[in-house]
């Protein structure tokens, strides 16, 4: 086992760390940085719970090694809310529309939808369903998640000047 020194940014803040060869990005975030908002469901790329953004595009953090993020910018669910604690419009929409029950899938849903709504400001319900097709939810039946995403799109559009 070798330790590799890496420098990256996590939610905009610089991070320096020494990581083991085989440490996944998901475990690095959770165990070394104590950012436990990123959840781990399957650890083999199927459930989407561990979805985060790497250099602004979504990725499954269980399928990346921590050492691979040297020099990159990582964004997790903890980076969504404003510094004063105001929820991101997507988070607020999930809260108001009952878009979560146990909340296990929610961080992955949110990070997937942040990217998706950034590119598709006026999605249809079918578009949203396709966008979250790589995220499993065992509670909601997805209906409320789709409604939350559509409501979030509306809120984000209103927010734009």
Partner 1 sequence: MKPPPFAYHSATSIPEAIQLLSKLENAKLLAGGQSLMAMLNLRYLHPENLVDINRIPELSGITIDQGRLRIGAMTRQQAIKASAEVKAAAPIFAETLAYVGHRQTRNRGTIGGSLCHLDPAAELPALALLHDAMVTVAGPRGERKIEMAAFIVDYMTTAVQADELVTLIEFPLWRAGHGYGFAEFARRHGDFAIAAVACLMESDSEGRMTRVAISVAGVAATAIRLTAAEAALIGKVAGPEAFAAAAACCADIAAVGDVHGSAEYRKKVAAVMLRRALTDAQSRMAKNG
> How far is CA 155 from its chain centroid?
19
Torsion of CA 125, 11, 91, 154, to 10 degrees: -50
- Any contact of residue 67 with partner 1 (CB under 8 A)? yes
Residue 10 or 50: the one with the smaller Cβ distance to ligand FES is 50
| Shortest Å, Cβ 56 to ligand FES | 19
Terminal CA-CA length for the chain:
52
For the bound state, the minimum distance from the C-beta of residue 131 to partner 1, rounded and expressed in Å, comes to: 7
Among 47, 52, 66, 113, which residue interacts with ligand FES (rule: CB under 6 A)? 47
Q: Does 141 bind ligand FES (CB under 6 A)?
A: no
The answer to whether 98 touches 118, Cβ cutoff 8 Å, is no
102 binds ligand FES (CB under 6 A): yes
Options 25, 48, 94, 123; binder of ligand FES; rule CB under 6 A: 48
CB of 47 to partner 1, least distance (A): 11
Q: Is 122 exposed, middle or buried (0-12, 13-18, 19+ CB in 10 A)?
A: exposed
The nearest distance, CB 109 to partner 1, in angstroms, is: 11
3-class DSSP assignment, residue 57: strand
Q: Which of residues 116-155 bind partner 1 (CB under 8 A)?
A: 116, 130-131, 133-134
Q: How many CB atoms sit inside 10 A of residue 24's CB?
A: 21
Select the span of 12-20, 29-37, 88-96, 98-106 touching ligand FES (CB under 6 A): 98-106
Residues 157, 122 contacting (CB under 8 angstroms): yes
């Amino acid at each position: 086992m070798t330790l590799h020194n890496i420098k990256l940014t996590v939610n905009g803040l610089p991070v320096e760390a020494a990581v083991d060869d085989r440490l996944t990005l998901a475990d690095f975030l959770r165990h070394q940085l104590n950012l436990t908002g990123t959840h781990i469901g399957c650890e083999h790329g199927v459930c989407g719970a561990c979805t985060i953004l790497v250099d602004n595009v979504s990725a499954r953090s269980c399928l990346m090694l921590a050492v691979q993020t040297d020099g990159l910018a990582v964004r997790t669910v903890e980076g969504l809310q404003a510094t004063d604690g105001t929820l991101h419009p997507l988070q607020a929409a999930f809260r108001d529309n009952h878009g979560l029950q146990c909340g296990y899938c929610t961080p992955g849903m949110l990070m997937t939808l942040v990217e998706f709504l950034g590119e598709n400001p006026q999605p249809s319900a079918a578009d949203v369903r396709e966008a979250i097709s790589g995220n499993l939810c065992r509670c909601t039946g997805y209906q409320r998640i789709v409604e939350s995403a559509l409501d979030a799109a509306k809120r984000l559009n209103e927010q734009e000047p």
